Amino acid sequence: DVKVTQSSRYLVKRTGEKVFLECVQDMDHENMFWYRQDPGLGLRLIYFSYDVKMKEKGDIPEGYSVSREKKERFSLILESASTNQTSMYLCASSLLEVHNEQFFGPGTRLTVL
Amino acid sequence: AQSVTQLDSHVSVSEGTPVLLRCNYSSSYSPSLFWYVQHPNKGLQLLLKYTSAATLVKGINGFEAEFKKSETSFHLTKPSAHMSDAAEYFCVVSERVNAGNMLTFGGGTRLMVKP
């Protein structure tokens, strides 16, 4: 079974702090993704990566950056956390082809005070 | 650019009655379409996917969806609802972007099943 793990299930940070969210997948997938999920808005794509050191902006990249130094690991960085970044963050991975399903991690609920 | 509209944010049915969750999409190319389900406090799980083969797609737990290109729809159905079907459902379209693929999610439909 594909496994996507995220470093924390719950995280509480203060405004202005730098925040790192880590995601690891164990199935050698090329694609990795970061989404945020907010009620009524579904999932919105922040960034994705289709190869090591490659990244593409999604729909809402502002205030976020990403890092992919190894194929299995994809990090989401909030350089200076703000209260409007309080959300559920979901990581996913998939094989390269467009019709392949994405496998999701359990999510990290981030609260910024 | 692609987009997905789930026409109902909440749907309530009685156990044993049919389920219909509606989804319309727009896409520049021949799309790949998915339905995902999210049970409370659990991760997203794939229900079914359409990838330009048969237009009627069968998924897990008795769900199916029909791709109708003329109507740009991909509605999810089940003949008889079960209590365990109560969850949030997401319609998703996939598009190739550079060397990767990008998913666009609808806003979600919360399905409630009454005994």
Q: What's residue A98's pLDDT?
A: 61
Residues of chain A with pLDDT under 50: none
A40 to B9: CB separation less than 8 angstroms, yes or no:
yes
Domain ranges of chain B: 1-6+27-52+62-83
Q: What's residue B53's pLDDT?
A: 74
Residues ≥6 apart with Cβ < 8 Å to A39: none
User: What is the number of other CB atoms lying within 10 angstroms of the CB of residue A102?
Assistant: 27
Give the position of tokens 């164990």: A26
Q: What does the DSSP 8-state code read for residue B52? A: S
What's the total number of domains in chain A?
A: 1
Q: B residues 30-49 near A, CB within 8 Å?
A: 32, 34, 42-44, 46, 49
Give the position of tokens 């609802």: B81
A54 to B105: CB separation less than 8 angstroms, yes or no:
no
| Structure tokens that stand for B95 in this block | 């598009």
* Alpha carbon of residue B14 to chain centroid: 20
A90 interaction partners in chain B (CB closer than 8 Å): 43-44
Q: What's residue A55's pLDDT?
A: 92
Q: What is the DSSP string of A67-113?
A: EEEETTEEEEEESS--GGG-EEEEEEEE-SSTTSPPEE---EEEEE-
Q: What's residue B59's pLDDT?
A: 93
From the list A41, A45, A107, which residue is nearest B102 (CB)? Answer: A45
A interface mutation test: which of B30, B88, B102 has the most A CBs within 10 A?
B102
From the list B44, B95, B101, which residue is nearest A104 (CB)? Answer: B44
A96 CA: distance to closest CA in chain B (Å): 6
Does residue B109 belong to the interface with chain A, where contact is any CB pair within 8 Å? Answer: no
**Bridge partners, B104 (sequence order):** B93
B82 within 8 A of B20, measured Cβ to Cβ: no
- The pLDDT averaged over each successive group of 10 residues in chain B (115 residues) is 89 97 86 90 88 87 94 96 96 77 87 96
CA distance linking residue A30 with residue A28, whole number of Å: 7
CATH superfamily label, B1-6+27-52+62-83: Immunoglobulins (2.60.40.10)
CATH of the domain at A30: 2.60.40.10
CA angle (B49 as vertex; B78, B114 as ends), nearest 5:
25
For residue B33, give the nearest of A43, A46, A96, A101 by alpha carbon. Answer: A101
Q: What's residue B52's pLDDT?
A: 75
| Structure tokens that stand for A6 in this block | 């995220």
B73 within 8 A of B57, measured Cβ to Cβ: no
